[in-house]
Amino acid sequence: MTIYPAIDIKGGRAVRLQQGRADQETVYAANPVDVAAEFKATGSPWVHVVDLDGAFAGTPQNLAHVEKIVATGLKVELGGGMRDRAIVDRALSIGVARVVIGTRAAESADFVTELVQAYGDKIAVGIDAKNGQVAVKGWVDTTGTGAIELAQRMDALGVATIIYTDIGTDGMLTGPNLIAQEEMASSVKASLIASGGVSRREDVVALAEIEKRRSNLSGVIVGKALYEKRVDLADLLTIS
């Protein structure tokens, strides 16, 4: 089970939102690069970064910060505003290890196909669901597409990694939607990274147990629980 500590960047600061709502923001650090350096020092190989300004604006706003995070030596998984080829090219050119396509994946299979053909497993698709329906544009709009339906379409295109976020649990510290995550893992061949709701060590252990049944559930993103010290990153990195 790979642990992806999360950094959400908004206005150049490290923040967390509740259920993706811009008006429910908590600032945890003035400089997200300092947070990344702490994750690196703790032993994490990865960091999951979301450019929240980019998610709402439709194009990344914080690549300068991302480039500095890359320079810490962490492998960076980056989402938020990745909606055209030039931006994806730019992100990968500054050293981002994996780019997450969200909104455009729901809109254009051709766009995803083009990126997968060009970059292979450096492309992930982020599927964010509210009541099982895909939400896009920084979770502002809900589509009529089912999360599993979209995941299976992306799987068929050869997408190597799917990040599945249950919006109802995100930032709420209520525990992940284990049933939804296992159902998603059983529906695709791609590696699945679970996101949303982790509040304690036992949540990660529960996801690791699902991994024993569904080996493609390979990772979990942990955000608010880390910042509020409900879990310890060094300890989570020992869970397998």
Question: Pick from 167, 156, 176, 175: which is nearest to 217 by CA?
Answer: 176
d(CA 100, CA 108): 14
Output Rg (C-alpha) for the chain, integer angstroms: 16
- 222 forms beta bridges with 5
- 7 forms beta bridges with 49
Residues carrying an active site annotation: 8, 128
Output b/e per residue, 64-76; b: 16+ Cβ within 10 A: ebbbbbbebebeb
The answer to whether the CB of 54 falls within 8 A of the CB of 26 is no
DSSP three-state, residue 236:
helix
Question: Pick from 75, 93, 77: which is nearest to 85 by CA?
Answer: 93
d(CA 196, CA 128): 10
Output b/e per residue, 175-202; b: 16+ Cβ within 10 A: ebbbebbbebbebbebbbbbbbbbbebe
